[in-house]
Amino acid sequence: MEHNNILITGAHRSGTTWTGKVLATATELRYVQEPFNVAISRYKQPFTQWYKYVSVHSPAHEQDQVHNYLKKFTSLQPKHLFTSLTKANSLKGYYYALGDIKNRVTHRTLFKDPLLLFSAPWFQEKMDSKVVVLVRHPAAFIASLKVKDWQFDFTNFQSQPLLMERELSSFASEIEEFATTKKDIVAQGIVLWNILNHYVLKRGSENLPGWYFLRHEDLSTQPVVEFKKLCDFLDIEYSNKMHAKIIETTTGKGPKERQRDSKQNISTWKTRLEPEEIERIKEGTQPIWPHFYTEEDW
């Protein structure tokens, strides 16, 4: 089955932005940034939770509401095109909006959004998409949270009964605890990584058509090889422009240094985390990480 659009997802801080920006250099794609990110207020999402869950089991009116919201990013209906034009607040913005309207006719749309992870199966059907899911080493993920001090409010999960019932029931007690008691960033990261990648593991075991699972570390270590594979899967051209973007974003120097620098990049967590934190993470994520990583990856 052919799919017109593309979704790049996975846990946040797992390389979705880099992957999306590299792929977006393909001439046949247009890029949409995180429609499920409720911090982007201009989007006016019809929901308030991070990691919003929508599925075929959601109430029909909710599915319709979210589907209509998503369609405004690709639709050629006059009301959506008019909204796009009226949001332009400069001449440059107006010309950009006109160009985007043209691209809606001639281009496929790439949605980059880690926050769509739980809704990805529903999104694939409703938005006619292939789905790329990225996984990142738990220590690297948590080190990134630590550096940014990205706290997470677990009531985002708790406030979604259908998500808790259908996908997160095995984490109910931990979510309850973390939603009501403030925990340190490492503890938060452990539970969050387990929750998100337990879901990834479940979807991966289902051999879903049109889905592609990829480790961030493999992209970083062999970016040219892995992006070529990804382009084949997505039926897009691996162009000179894309190749240049990969070189630019992995080294800024040239192909000879690329692999060495990329390998250094994926190991920065070893200097950002204390030894006892690494041990906590390894032990705390042990039920999940062996499905994606080996002992040597620690």
Residue 264 has pLDDT above 80, yes or no: no
Judge contact between 234 and 130, C-beta under 8 A. Answer: yes
Residue 258 pLDDT > 50: no
Q: Is residue 35 part of a domain?
A: yes
Greatest CA separation for the chain = 58
pLDDT greater than 60 at residue 257: no
Q: What residue numbers bound the domain in which 34 lies?
A: 5-56+110-297
Residue 287 lies in a domain: yes
Residue 251: the pLDDT is 79
Q: What is the pLDDT of residues 265-288, one digit of tens each?
A: 788 999 999 999 999 999 999 999
40 within some domain = yes
Q: How confident is the model at residue 249 (pLDDT cuts 50, 70, 90)?
A: confident
CATH number, domain at 288? 3.40.50.300
Residue 189 within any structural domain of the chain:
yes
- The answer to whether position 187 is within a domain reads yes
**E strand or H helix that includes residue 275:** helix 275-284
Instruction: Give the count of domains, the chain.
Output: 1
- List, in sequence order, every beta strand (DSSP E) within the chain: 5-10, 29-33, 108-112, 129-135, 211-215
Question: Is residue 260 scored above 60 in pLDDT?
Answer: no
**64: in domain:** no
| pLDDT one-digit tens code per residue, 81-93 | 556 556 656 666 5
Is 66 a member of any domain? no
pLDDT at residue 10, rounded to an integer: 98
Q: How confident is the model at residue 292 (pLDDT cuts 50, 70, 90)?
A: very high
User: pLDDT by residue (tens digit) across 14-70?
Assistant: 999 999 999 999 999 999 999 999 999 989 999 999 999 999 999 999 999 999 999
Which residue from 6, 219, 24, 231 is spatially nearest to 131, judged by alpha carbons? Answer: 6
Average pLDDT score over the chain = 90
pLDDT at residue 30, rounded to an integer: 93
Q: What is the pLDDT of residue 74?
A: 86
- The pLDDT of residue 76 is 60
> Does 25 reside within a domain?
yes
